[in-house]
Amino acid sequence: MSPSISVGGRVPYVARFTRLHFRLWGPYGITAYPTGFHDWPEHLSAPVWMPEARIITGAGAVKVPLGDCATLDDAIAACWSHFASLH
């Protein structure tokens, strides 16, 4: 399964160019805004990486945001931290 990331339409970006482990591809996704959010003033357009976990609960499938991160490494670390907290 491919990682869930949008960087200029290149879905495999995280898997190909980072150390995102294959065990994180399915249950985790990272949405990337490497040049900031659209239409934000230039002084506010810092990179934003938004990791999320996809989990199954008694009520069904849910997406759990893991917080906004300033770097891709921080976003990957957030995924690993969440994964470690499940064991």
Give me the pLDDT at residue 81, please.
Answer: 92
Helix (H) or strand (E) holding 24: helix 22-25
Q: Give me the pLDDT at residue 32, please.
A: 82
What is the Rg, in whole angstroms, of the alpha carbon atoms belonging to the chain?
13
pTM of the model: 0.64
Q: Which residue has the tokens 């957030």?
A: 78
- pLDDT score, position 20: 59
pLDDT for the residue numbered 4 = 46
What is the model's pLDDT at position 3? 41
**The predicted structure's pLDDT at residue 37:** 65
Residue 55: per-residue pLDDT:
86
What's the rounded Cα separation, in Å, for the pair 39 and 8? 16
CA 87, CA 85: separation in Å to the nearest integer? 6
**Alpha-carbon distance 16 to 12, whole Å?**
6
pLDDT at 2: 40
Run means of pLDDT, 10 residues per run, the chain, 87 residues: 44 51 73 72 78 87 90 89 86
